[in-house]
């Protein structure tokens, strides 16, 4: 079955996470992703362990399945010539070098475009290619300076990062969207000789674009949002509440849900109390609300309340581990994990379901330079067919 990006060649000059996560999405969709790595060392994340797999780090595996690896030394003239030839033949180039680095090797956008006018060239930086070009683009740093840490954590505690490199992940989604949009624009300008373009994304802009209601609140009021722990700044109850045996996540999004919650919790009068009758009132009197609810929830374990609230359409759930999240997804028929080869750990399934072009082929992340010989042979001949 034909996949959406079958036949497209992606030259992946990126490393670490945002870039490789972008290209792994393209690989899932059928593109032939050729990962260019440094001889001897490869992608930085190959050494980011523990934990380890039989071949590499678990970190590396999360963003590099279904790719092919070639090692090229960009300071070597012969290898550099092959890298330029790869960029000339590619439909898409993805890179996250410091701004200007690839230009010095003849691999910048304008230089590649001169020989490959249809190329979609995606640059991923930390803070853009202008005034922030010299700033290092690390996820943790951007979480700090970009405002995410200021709204994450307990009100009386330290600012906290999210438990995953979330800004890298969000940026990879933006980069993938940008690449696909540019490919569509190329197709619209001519099926054979359509023009590509330069797609630029940066971690700071992707973060600001993802802060959603928090950035909207700041722009509307000029007041910085603050840390509220697990509480929501605009909805209540929308937080963790303590039950007899531990916490329960309750996401009560409207007055009707709250009335049902109060009824099955055995305190229907709470929905008629003027302090709690409407969402704005509940947000204003959050402390009193939480105290009243936790008095009721303390009479039974969390799972009892999950079952009780779910039965009347009130969103609620226990705080689970990553393993429990996989188990839940499996019970719901979401098939969250897929095999990628004998002796290899499973991978997380591509998150999107397609009715006519499903993602069905997953391959183990490549060993460093695993495909160097075959890709070198292809780049050294005059035929564009790579397989």
Cα(376)–Cα(70) distance, integer angstroms: 8
Nearest to 118 by CA among 94, 96, 87, 95: 87
> What was the pLDDT predicted at 189?
83
Token digits for 93? 């180039």
The single residue of 43, 139, 168, 174 carrying the catalytic annotation is 168
> What was the pLDDT predicted at 193?
65
**Sheet arrangement for strand 9-13:** 67-71, 32-37, 9-13, 92-95, 120-125, 197-202
Decide: helix, strand or coil at residue 48.
coil
Cα-based distances in Å from 52 to 21, 119, 268, 332: 19, 36, 53, 29
> What was the pLDDT predicted at 382?
63
Decide: helix, strand or coil at residue 33.
strand
The answer to whether 225 and 151 have CB atoms below 8 angstroms apart is yes
Q: Where in the chain is the domain with CATH 3.40.50.10540?
A: 9-211+336-380
Token digits for 31? 């593109």
Token digits for 260? 């049902």
> What was the pLDDT predicted at 387?
41
The answer to whether 55 and 46 have CB atoms below 8 angstroms apart is no
Nearest to 366 by CA among 344, 334, 337: 344
Q: Where are the alpha helices (DSSP H) in the chain?
A: 18-28, 58-61, 77-89, 109-115, 139-145, 166-189, 203-210, 213-221, 255-264, 279-284, 286-297, 302-311, 322-331, 372-380
DSSP 97: P
Dihedral-angle region of residue 343 (phi above 0 means left; psi in -120 to 50 means alpha; beta otherwise): left
Per-residue pLDDT of the chain (387 residues; tens, 9 = 90+): 789 999 999 999 999 999 999 999 999 999 999 999 999 999 999 999 999 998 899 999 999 999 999 999 999 999 999 999 999 999 999 999 999 999 999 999 999 999 999 999 999 999 999 999 989 899 999 999 999 999 999 999 999 999 999 999 999 999 999 999 999 999 988 756 689 999 999 999 999 999 999 999 999 999 999 999 999 999 999 999 999 999 999 999 999 999 999 999 999 999 999 999 999 999 999 999 999 999 999 999 999 999 999 999 999 999 999 999 999 999 999 999 999 988 899 999 999 999 999 998 899 999 999 999 999 999 998 655 544
For 316, the enclosing helix (H) or strand (E) is strand 316-318
Decide: helix, strand or coil at residue 243.
strand
Cα(54)–Cα(370) distance, integer angstroms: 15
Nearest to 279 by CA among 253, 240, 298: 253
The answer to whether 202 and 126 have CB atoms below 8 angstroms apart is yes
CA-derived radius of gyration, the chain: 25
Nearest to 92 by CA among 25, 159, 161: 25
For 202, the enclosing helix (H) or strand (E) is strand 197-202
Q: Is 356 noted as a catalytic residue in this protein?
A: no
Q: What is the CATH code for 238-324?
A: 3.30.1540.10
Token digits for 133? 């070009």
Cα-based distances in Å from 9 to 33, 74, 164, 236, 384: 6, 20, 30, 49, 10
> What was the pLDDT predicted at 190?
74
Token digits for 81? 């010539």
For 9-211+336-380, CATH number out of 3.30.830.10, 3.40.50.10540, 1.10.3720.10, 3.40.50.300 equals 3.40.50.10540
Q: Where in the chain is the domain with CATH 3.30.1540.10?
A: 238-324
């Amino acid at each position: 079955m034909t996949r959406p990006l079958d036949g497209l060649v992606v030259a992946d000059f990126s490393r670490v996470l945002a870039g490789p996560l972008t290209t792994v999405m393209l690989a899932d969709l059928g593109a032939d992703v050729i990962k260019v790595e440094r001889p001897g060392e490869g992608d930085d994340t190959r050494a980011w362990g523990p934990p380890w797999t039989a071949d590499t780090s678990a970190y590396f595996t999360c963003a590099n399945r279904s790719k092919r690896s070639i090692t090229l030394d960009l300071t070597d003239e012969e290898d550099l010539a092959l890298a330029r030839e790869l960029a000339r033949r590619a439909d898409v180039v993805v890179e996250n070098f410091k701004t200007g680095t690839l230009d010095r090797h003849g691999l910048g956008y304008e230089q590649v475009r001169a020989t490959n006018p249809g190329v979609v060239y995606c640059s991923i930086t930390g803070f853009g290619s202008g005034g922030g070009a010299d700033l290092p683009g690390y996820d943790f740093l951007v979480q700090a300076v970009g405002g995410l840490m200021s709204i994450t954590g307990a009100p009386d505690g330290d600012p906290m990062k999210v438990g995953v490199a979330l800004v890298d992940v969000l940026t990879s989604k933006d980069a993938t969207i940008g690449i696909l949009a540019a490919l569509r624009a190329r197709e619209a300008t001519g099926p054979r000789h359509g023009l590509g373009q330069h797609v630029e994304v940066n971690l700071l802009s992707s973060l600001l674009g993802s802060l959603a209601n928090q950035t909207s609140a700041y722009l509307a009021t000029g007041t910085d949002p603050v840390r509220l722990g697990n509480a929501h700044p605009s909805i209540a109850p929308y937080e963790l509440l303590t039950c007899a045996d531990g916490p329960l996540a309750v996401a009560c999004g409207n007055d009707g849900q709250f009335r049902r919650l109060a009824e099955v919790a055995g305190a229907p009068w709470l929905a008629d109390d003027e302090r709690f009758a409407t969402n704005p009132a509940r947000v204003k009197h959050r402390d009193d609300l939480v105290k009243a609810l936790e008095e009721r929830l303390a009479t039974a374990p969390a799972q009892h309340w999950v079952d009780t609230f779910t039965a009347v359409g009130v969103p609620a759930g226990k705080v689970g581990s990553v393993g429990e999240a996989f188990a839940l997804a499996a019970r719901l028929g979401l098939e969250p994990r897929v095999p990628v080869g004998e002796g290899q750990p499973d991978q997380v399934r591509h998150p999107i379901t397609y009715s006519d072009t499903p993602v069905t082929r997953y391959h183990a992340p490549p060993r460093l330079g695993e495909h160097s010989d075959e890709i070198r042979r292809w780049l050294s001949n005059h035929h564009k067919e790579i397989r």
